[in-house]
Amino acid sequence: TDKKDILALIEKAETTHELTKDEIVALLIDTEYEAEFFAAADRVRRMYVGDEVHLRGLIEFSNTCKQNCLYCGLRRDNKKVNRYRLGPETILDFATKAKSYGYRTVVLQSGEDEWFDVAAMVDIIKKIKELGLAITLSVGEKPREVYQAYRDAGADRYLLRIETTDKALYEKLDPGMSWDNRVKCLQDIKELGFELGTGSLVGIPGQTIESLADDVLFFKSMDADMIGVGPFIPNPDTPLAKEAGGTFELSTKVMAMTRLLLPDINIPATTAMESLNPQGRVLALQRGANVVMPNVTEGEYRQLYLLYPGKICINDTPAHCRSCITGKIQGIGRKVAETHGFRVKRA
Ligand code: 5AD
Ligand code: SF4
Ligand code: FES
């Protein structure tokens, strides 16, 4: 692809929000026109979702997981992790505090932990809904009836990253898990009327640029409402300790591509991005992102939810993060949204 072609492709992406796989690959490979590419994603972000940044308060309520994903610090074979579970009262307390900081959404995230049965989760969801907050769940693969029960209880959104659309690679890195079942979960979540969030890891060993292009096309085919992408960061206590990680640049390129092709969705500036680059979230907000998910987990639990090393904010308080992130958002001329921040579909 020559230079004029790259600029033409950026313009095509910006104006039509449609690219072929080969065209996506060409843009992801290009290094010469990155500034133009990111600027286009920033314009599309501004035109479709505006200057407001939605904050979602993240509660990491259990670091216990029955799965064994090779990249993740919380995998069941990692015996170095001090496992914790927050009780319902503590979760509700953190949600109440999240509300007091002005967050309009709480994200309940955990490993795949069967200790929290459906009745317990339903009860927590109902009580948080009474606070007037939107709820995003990020608790892994469940049978459709369980998703149904969570939806009926009032949960609004569900995050479940596909991690990679390369089925063979997925099943190698997530031993014992089925890629087809993951897609089935995403379809169930969508059909049940949740806002659907998915996304991928960038830079996992064995991943190609072609496969990242497939990821973005998959997001589009699923009509996802939220897409979170972040760099893979090798964790020393996992089998992938010695592997190379993903880069900040490539992960923001995949994110910017997602904004260009799914212009009206919500896209977080991810914690993993900032863990690789001290300006990572602000840069991501200027390359297509419009959401940040500050941590509202309190005390010692923060250090224990360690998916990867170098995770930001593990020694900060929720109050500190709240003012920190507001400063960063205002510092780039953006504003903190005061709505619940659901996707507003635009043609
Ligand atoms: N580096 C970056 N992200 C990771 N995740 C898990 N392990 C890592 C890692 N080592 C991501 C996965 C998961 C999300 C909750 O955290 O994509 O879906
Ligand atoms: Fe468990 Fe999620 Fe980590 Fe996999 S990525 S081991 S499912 S917490
Ligand atoms: Fe936690 Fe900045 S958001 S310290």
Ligand 2: distance of its center to the CA of 69 in Å?
A: 6
pLDDT in tens, 177-205: 999 999 999 999 999 999 999 999 999 99
Q: Is the confidence at residue 2, as pLDDT, over 80?
A: no
Question: Where do the structural domains in the chain lie, given as residue ranges?
Answer: 51-336
In this structure, are residues 281 and 251 in contact, taking their beta carbons and an 8 Å threshold?
Answer: no
In percent, the amount of the chain with pLDDT more than 90 equals 98
Ligand 3: distance of its center to the CA of 177 in Å?
A: 34
**Phi, psi torsion values for 156, nearest 5 degrees:** -100, -35
Our mutation pick for probing the ligand 1 site, out of 71, 141, 275, 311, counting the most ligand atoms within 8 A of Cβ, is 71
Ligand 3: distance of its center to the CA of 72 in Å?
A: 22
Neighbours of 320 (CB within 10 A): 12
Where do we find the tokens 């930001």? 312
Nearest CA to ligand 2 atom 6: 75
Q: What is the CATH number of domain 51-336?
A: 3.20.20.70
Nearest CA to ligand 3 atom 1: 321
Supply the DSSP symbol for 264. T
Q: Is the confidence at residue 3, as pLDDT, over 80?
A: no
Which pair of structure tokens corresponds to residue 171? Answer: 């099943």
Residue 290: which pLDDT band, with cuts at 50, 70 and 90? very high
Using CA atoms of 298, 314, 328, 199 in order, give the dihedral in degrees to the nearest 10: -100
